[in-house]
Amino acid sequence: MAKIGIFVGTMYGNSLLVAEEAEAILRGQGHSATVYEDPELNDWRQYEHDHVLVVTSTTGQGDFPESIAPLFQTIKDQLGYQPGLRYGVIALGDSTYQNFCGAGKRFDALLAEQHAQRVGDVLMIDASEDPEPETVSNPWVEAWGAQLK
């Protein structure tokens, strides 16, 4: 069973709700899962040879919420190479904005650049189509968790 850190970037709590439901689903599958609401590099480092699930919305013009912006920047500045890390991304956004799911896409691009291995596709949830994001994320998380050992 896998050890999974769930790293959250949220403004109004939608991503946190998605993350908390993901935590419950993954635990139900027998994994160990922990949500980090104001994640720091030390939290991230515990998963160097395990799994992380990034759940982040996008604000401003393709920007990260304040809760996760410092983590993204420190990973970029201080890590560089993470070949032992396996990850997934759930990106919340709204397609009426220009940079749809921009923050989630940037996190995925950074981790790929640092040689982490993504499990599954990035899930993008469009608030203008799905006002209850957990109805989209829950089945995705079930499938994602089933792929982990």
Ligand X SMILES: Cc1cc2nc3c(=O)[nH]c(=O)nc-3n(C[C@H](O)[C@H](O)[C@H](O)COP(=O)(O)O)c2cc1C
Which parts of this chain interact with ligand X (CB under 6 A)? 10-15, 57-62, 65, 92-94, 97, 99-102, 127
Decide if 3 contacts 50 (C-beta within 8 A). yes
Q: Which is nearer to ligand X, 91 or 116 (CB)?
A: 91
CB of 131 to ligand X, least distance (A): 9
Question: What is the C-alpha separation between 53 and 119, in angstroms, rounded?
Answer: 10
Q: Which is nearer to ligand X, 42 or 98 (CB)?
A: 98
What residue number has its CB nearest to ligand X? 93
CB of 48 to ligand X, least distance (A): 26
Q: Which is nearer to ligand X, 37 or 50 (CB)?
A: 37
CB of 140 to ligand X, least distance (A): 15
Question: What is the C-alpha separation between 110 and 29, in angstroms, rounded?
Answer: 28
Q: Exposed, middle or buried by CB within 10 Å (0-12, 13-18, 19+), for 39?
A: buried
Question: What is the C-alpha separation between 75 and 64, in angstroms, rounded?
Answer: 14
Q: What angle do CA 103, 107, 113 make, to 5 degrees?
A: 140
Question: What is the C-alpha separation between 86 and 62, in angstroms, rounded?
Answer: 24
Q: Which is nearer to ligand X, 58 or 82 (CB)?
A: 58
CB of 96 to ligand X, least distance (A): 8
